[in-house]
Chain A
């Protein structure tokens, strides 16, 4: 149980392109999803917290107009990197938290497999 699916796993695109990444909780409802960015040989940095049906909360320094987050259902959150540039190349990982008190809530977050984004 507690499977989080993230797609695509790898994206290579030209500078200026917008890229959408999907994060799905497959066997549980996720009221909250988190988006992280990880540069090579660095730690995971939280970008934003996404709550179903409301606006995402962005961490300091993260441009909300560049990294659009939508969490329209209890099983799906999307991150769109708009007008991507080479400096946006990174490993993006989502995680999902189940409904507190429900199965799978013993762990605070379940991680997706990540998306490696390469902007040429």
Chain B
């Protein structure tokens, strides 16, 4: 089955700086890669996603890049703000019809004011 690894497990950045979280996946058939933000005790919220037919996607301060050859994808947050502090999970789906999400281990992002 799919295995998703995520690094780093914790990340602290100064407010206004950029944050980068990286994930690798094992199943070359994976074709959809969402990123979730989870605040303490709450549900994961989809913040951005990318499909395997594109290499990069951007939504305001958030961007995701995908390297299919290397089987890794990254989340980039620019101009970080205190409200960006949360746990971020990457995920992969090996078959969109099946839609069985495999999550990464999570990154606790702390924005230092």
Q: Is the CB of A108 within 8 A of B101?
A: yes
A-B Cβ contacts below 8 A, count: 48
Residues of A in contact with B, size category: 20 to 34
Q: Shortest distance in angstroms between B8's beta carbon and chain A's nearest beta carbon?
A: 14
How many residues from B make CB contacts under 8 Å with A? 22
Task: For the complex, give the distance between the alpha carbons of A91 and B96 in Å.
Answer: 26
Known: A43-B105, A43-B106, A44-B89. A109 touches B42 (CB 8 A): no
In the complex, the answer to whether B41 meets A91 with C-beta atoms within 8 Å is yes
The reply to whether B42 and A108 form a contact with Cβ atoms under 8 Å apart is: no
A34 at interface (Cβ–Cβ under 8 A)?
A: yes
What is the chain A residue whose CB lies nearest that of B46? A107
- Using a CB–CB cutoff of 8 Å, the interface residues on chain B facing chain A are 32, 34, 41-46, 49, 89, 93, 96-97, 99-106, 108
